[in-house]
Amino acid sequence: MKSQVVTFLIKCPDQKGLVAKITSFFYEKGFNILSCQQYVNAIEDSYFMRVRLNAEGTNVSKEDLEKSFSTLAEPLQFNWSVNYGDDTKNVAIMVSHTSHNLYDLLSRNKEGLLACNIKLVISNHNKLRHIADMFNVPYYYLPVTKETKQEQEAQVMELLDSNNIDLTIMARYMQILSSNFINKYPEKIINIHHSFLPAFQGANPYKKAYERGVKLIGATAHYATEDLDEGPIIEQDVEPVTHESTPTTLKRIGADIEKLVLARAVKNHLNHQIIVSGNRAIVFPEAGE
């Protein structure tokens, strides 16, 4: 097996002996366990595990590993996935006219802080092309109107599919994606928005927040679902503000938080730290990797 690090994500009904059965399986296959993280939801009687393995020295192929693990998994009702360290994900970024998240993601990727291939940037505006050009990432300008929405989404999906995109990041893409689009890529679209929803919707939420005298500004990153801005939450953060903050400073603080929250959410996804259960995201912390 070429991949030295292998990550398994497992969810199943909680039951006795799970840790022993799973770890024994990997021991017998010749793997060294680098980390084993687990969580039990007693309310739902569910069990979750993230286990990272060192495959160095093993002779088992990926096909044989997955076939053997399926034999273990079926009677225990595992819902599982496996990810190999040599499998770098392809990423697309969708953006409208706000640059901070786009620039931050491209910058982090160039510095090696996000383990992925950012294959393209898609936008319904042409004003951020220069940022993609700075990082030599192809930029696709696909304008959209109410009348052309279906046609434009078909073009976007064609780009995603032809580039074998594994994850799409909505880095302040100010369009509502159709159910058809979202359902085609379950748990493969991450969205970011400010924390004022649903209180301050629409244009200029920071002005509305200033007028209300908010004391906290934050951001939320989540998987996109049919329910607008209500998908499984991956990351959130907040920062206190005071009455001295203006709409301009609130907006700046909000942009800074968005960048950090979105980058963490993307990294969690790329590192295979997330198991979605219903409308909740179980996010395991990094385990020294």
Residue for token digits 């880095």? 171
Find out whether 50 and 9 touch, Cβ atoms under 8 Å: yes
**Has 133 been annotated as catalytic?**
no
- Return d(Cα 252, Cα 151) in angstroms, integer: 35
Give the CA distances from residue 167 to residues 8, 40, 123, 191, 276, in Å, rounded to whole numbers and listed in that order.
Answer: 19, 28, 16, 11, 15
Which member of 64, 133, 229, 237 is catalytic?
Answer: 229
Find, among 272, 255, 285, 221, the residue nearest to 104 by Cα.
255
Which pair of structure tokens corresponds to residue 224?
A: 């996109």
Give the CA distances from residue 211 to residues 13, 48, 238, in Å, rounded to whole numbers and listed in that order.
Answer: 48, 44, 19
Q: Is 10 exposed, middle or buried (0-12, 13-18, 19+ CB in 10 A)?
A: buried
Q: Please give the positions annotated as active site.
A: 229
